[in-house]
Structure 1
Amino acid sequence: MQSLRMKVVELRNVSFRYAGSERNVISNINLQIEEGESVLITGPSGCGKSTIARIIMGLIPHSYPGELSGEAYVLGMNVFENPVSSIATKCGIVFQNPENQLFTFSVEDDVAFGPENLALPRDEIRRRVDESLKLVGIEHLRYSSPNSLSGGEQQKAAIASILSMHPSVMIFDEPTSMLDPSSSVSLVQSIFKLKESLEKTGKKITLIIIEHRISLLLNHVSRIIIVSDGRIVVDSDPITALYEGFKQGIPINIPPVLQIFFRIKDKCGLENPPKDLKELLTNLKTR
């Protein structure tokens, strides 16, 4: 039965080559993402993951010169024909280094920047700032300088600055790359608590997360897309996707317990993937 959910992202046969390069960084990308999905895009370094994010946001072709072909739509908007400013009202991106998008003297000013550029009434801007800071739990940092914040706090400030635009799609490009393991877990939990909180208010938000630390997101996403050599080679539910990636020998960070499970599951007659090594050993003992 065909899904009735709206397609918020659609790429059709998209290929791109950066200016000065002799080869495509992505080739013949076909991708559909529906409203409310939580999708992980992963793959080896340099495989084209971030390029896909830049196309969805319209940064390609408007900010990155190169040779582009195919079609790309976000919430019905033709990415190639609409300016980034229009796309940014519905789709936001949090970059690897949040310092790149925090540029004012206070967290409050950064969060207010987007709504101010929409020329919203002052009361509405204040309401959005208050709402966004509360959703990510940094009300106490309202008047702090972004330069004085920790990496995790800067990420949350960057997320708040996107939330204030009331986006329907949020893209996270390697959000944990600057964080230690504990802060990474905390950030991922915050992202999905945020999605849950927004959905309780009736607002569906689509999450697209580009990340190589698969274990952080495995229990949160409903779909994993694996990119290799500029092409989508796997697109499925998390366990199926990782098993396919394992069989194809794609160098991605499959959690060790799943690597063991994939190696022995047929020989040992195992069916259900374990959550941890203890569960795997228990399953083996009961065979």
Structure 2
Amino acid sequence: MSNRDAIVVENLTFQYPDTETPVLKNIHFTLKEGEVLGIIGRTGSGKTTLAMCLNRLVPTVIQGNLEGTISVFGQDISQRSVADMADKVGFVFQEPENQLSQMTVEEEIAFGMGNLGISREEMKYRIQETLKQVGLEGFEKRSPLALSGGQQQRLAIASVMAMRPSIMIMDEPTSMLDPRGKNEVYDVLRKIKTYGMTGVIIDHEVERMASYCDKILVLDDGEVIMFGTPKEVFSELTLLHEMEMNAPQVTELADRLRKELQIDVGSPITVEEAVKAFQIVSIK
């Protein structure tokens, strides 16, 4: 993992027109190149607005008053357009059908690359490579509308990945999916690190985020309440509960065991950590 800063957000405040209070308030955080950031928080806490600031959808398309600075790989993006940012920051939306517009799967993946001026030969190579990575080989001629929800979301991710952005942002990519679809998408998301991509994921799947993300940012009422490693954030159960959020189930279970049975297994945040912790306790 690189020591280079991928995203630096400083004093970021944003207010929509005709509203009384900002939706984002004095946001600060830094994400290193190759890290994956998970953003969690209650509905209306500002998660999606923050994500859209990172690729300039806010405030260039969705307008309002923005203060503070965002730097991407050392460059202030305040004068950049959404189109300018397309080769740096890719965005996958919550509902994939809103992002899919072409007649076939291969045309869908080619569409974004065409806007970047990628050569035809390079397009063919990237289409095949990306379809393999998302598990959609053989679907080239199929209509995106004929795909399942999980397949559509994987196609939306593939369309962004093919453009080779340095940063991939995903806004609740599994919220509309069944458990199988969620697993399919997270299997793909795990692969972005092999590209050295930096990731930003908004989701409610804290179990998956605990094992996948390098950093967690907790937003509440537009403010950063916590920012740190999954272990640091999900160990703060009292604070999470005050915001009507939960930690991973194994963390919640460990907390109850400690409080009700005086059995201390630490604060595991993944199933693997919990298994090891329980084995140590049983041996003692």
Common fold: TM-score over 0.5: yes
Task: Name the structure 1 match of 2:265.
Answer: 270
State the secondary structure of the residue aligned to 2:234. helix
State the secondary structure of the residue aligned to 2:212. coil
State the secondary structure of the residue aligned to 1:141. coil
Paired amino acid for 1:10 = V
Work out whether residues 213 and 253 of structure 1, in 8 Å CA contact, stay in contact via their aligned partners in 2.
Answer: no
Paired amino acid for 2:183 = V
Change (3 A) 1:234 1:124: same
Is 1:69 paired with 2:63? no
Query: Displacement, 1:278?
Result: 6.5
Task: Name the structure 2 match of 1:188.
Answer: 186
Change (3 A) 1:243 1:143: same
Work out whether residues 94 and 172 of structure 1, in 8 Å CA contact, stay in contact via their aligned partners in 2.
Answer: yes
Paired amino acid for 1:247 = L
Cα distance in 1 for residues equivalent to 2:113 and 2:183: 30
Work out whether residues 265 and 278 of structure 2, in 8 Å CA contact, stay in contact via their aligned partners in 1.
Answer: no
Is 1:84 paired with 2:77? no
Q: Deviations over 1:49-74 (max 9, x none)?
A: 11110000110111101111111122
Instruction: Select which of 129, 133, 141 maps to 1:135.
Output: 133
Is 1:227 paired with 2:225? no
Task: Name the structure 1 match of 2:244.
Answer: 251
Greater Cα offset, 168-177 or 69-78: 69-78
TM-score (norm 1): 0.89
Change (3 A) 1:159 1:274: closer
Length, aligned pairs only: 279
Work out whether residues 55 and 79 of structure 1, in 8 Å CA contact, stay in contact via their aligned partners in 2.
Answer: no
Instruction: Select which of 119, 122, 133 maps to 1:121.
Output: 119
Task: Name the structure 2 match of 1:55.
Answer: 53
Cα distance in 1 for residues equivalent to 2:269 and 2:248: 11
Runs (5+) with no aligned partner, structure 2:
none
Cα distance in 1 for residues equivalent to 2:51 and 2:211: 22
Q: Deviations over 1:98-126 (max 9, x none)?
A: 11111111111111112211222221222
Query: Displacement, 1:194?
Result: 4.3
- Percent identity over the alignment is 34
Work out whether residues 16 and 22 of structure 2, in 8 Å CA contact, stay in contact via their aligned partners in 1.
Answer: yes
Task: Name the structure 1 match of 2:149.
Answer: 151
Q: CA RMSD in A?
A: 2.2
Cα distance in 1 for residues equivalent to 2:147 and 2:2: 43
Greater Cα offset, 225-234 or 272-281: 272-281
Task: Name the structure 2 match of 1:261.
Answer: 254
Cα distance in 1 for residues equivalent to 2:280 and 2:258: 11
TM-score (norm 2): 0.90
Cα distance in 2 for residues equivalent to 1:227 and 1:109: 37
Work out whether residues 265 and 277 of structure 2, in 8 Å CA contact, stay in contact via their aligned partners in 1.
Answer: no
Cα distance in 2 for residues equivalent to 1:261 and 1:132: 40
Work out whether residues 70 and 76 of structure 2, in 8 Å CA contact, stay in contact via their aligned partners in 1.
Answer: yes
Q: Deviations over 1:40-94 (max 9, x none)?
A: 1111111111111000011011110111111112223332210111111111011
Paired amino acid for 1:273 = P
Cα distance in 1 for residues equivalent to 2:118 and 2:239: 52
Is 1:218 paired with 2:199? no
State the secondary structure of the residue aligned to 2:43. coil
Task: Name the structure 1 match of 2:174.
Answer: 176
Cα distance in 2 for residues equivalent to 1:138 and 1:268: 47
